[in-house]
Amino acid sequence: MSSIYPVVLSGGTGSRLWPVSRAQMPKQLMPFLSSRSLLQETVLRLAGDDAIAPPLVISNADHRFMIAAQLHELGVTPTTHVLEPVGRNTAPAAAVAAKIVGDLDPDGILVLLPADHHIADAAGFKQAVLAAAAYAEKGHIVTFGIAPKSPETGYGYIRRGNALDGGVFAVAQFCEKPDLARAKALLAEGGYDWNSGIFMARADVLVAEMQVHCPEILAKSASAVSGSYKDLDFLRLDQPAFQACPSEPFDTAVMERTTKAVVMPLDIGWSDVGSWSALWELGDKDPAGNVIRGDVLAVDTQETYIRGNGRLVTTLGVKDLVIVDTGDAVLVADRSRVQDVRGLVAKLKELGRAEHDTHSRVHRPWGYFESIEAGDRYQVKHLMVKPGASLSLQMHHHRAEHWVVVKGTARVVLGNREMLISENESTYIPIGTPHRLENPGKVPLSIIEVQSGCYLGEDDIVRFDDRYGRLEEKPGP
The CA angle 124-126-129, to the nearest 5 degrees, is: 110
Residue 177 identity (one-letter amino acid): K
Note whether 403 and 445 are within 8 A (CB). Answer: no
CA dist 459 and 307 (Å) reads 33
Domain ranges of the chain: 4-271, 276-346, 361-465
Of 383 and 327, more confident: 383
- φ, ψ for residue 151, nearest 5 deg: -75, 75
What is the C-alpha separation between 101 and 79, in angstroms, rounded? Answer: 9
| Residue 34 CB neighbour total at 10 angstroms | 10
Stretch 318-335: mean pLDDT: 97
**Is it the case that residue 345 has pLDDT exceeding 60?**
yes
pLDDT score of 241 more than 80: yes
* pLDDT, mean of residues 109-125: 97
161 confidence band (pLDDT: 50, 70, 90): very high
Residue 253: pLDDT above 90?
A: yes
Q: What is the mean pLDDT of residues 136-144?
A: 97
Cα–Cα dist 49/392, whole Å: 40
Q: Which residues pair with 400 in a beta bridge?
A: 452
Fold of 361-465: Jelly Rolls (2.60.120)
- The DSSP output letter for 287 is T
Amino acid 167: pLDDT = 86
The amino acid at 410: A
Query: What is the fold, at CATH topology level, of the domain defined by 4-271?
Result: Spore Coat Polysaccharide Biosynthesis Protein SpsA; Chain A (3.90.550)
Q: Which residue has the higher pLDDT, 79 or 165?
A: 79
* Average pLDDT value for residue range 147-170: 91
- pLDDT tens digit string along 386-424? 999 999 999 999 999 999 999 999 999 999 999 999 999
Contacts of 324 (CB under 8 A, 6+ apart): 19, 20, 276, 305, 306, 307, 330, 331
DSSP 33-73: SSSS-HHHHHHHHT-S-TTBPPPEEEEEGGGHHHHHHHHHH
Question: Residue 381: helix, strand or coil by DSSP?
Answer: strand
Task: Give me the mean pLDDT over the 235-264 stretch.
Answer: 96
Note the pLDDT of residue 403: 98
Give pLDDT, residue 476: 56
pLDDT tens for 166-194 read: 889 999 999 988 999 999 999 989 999 99
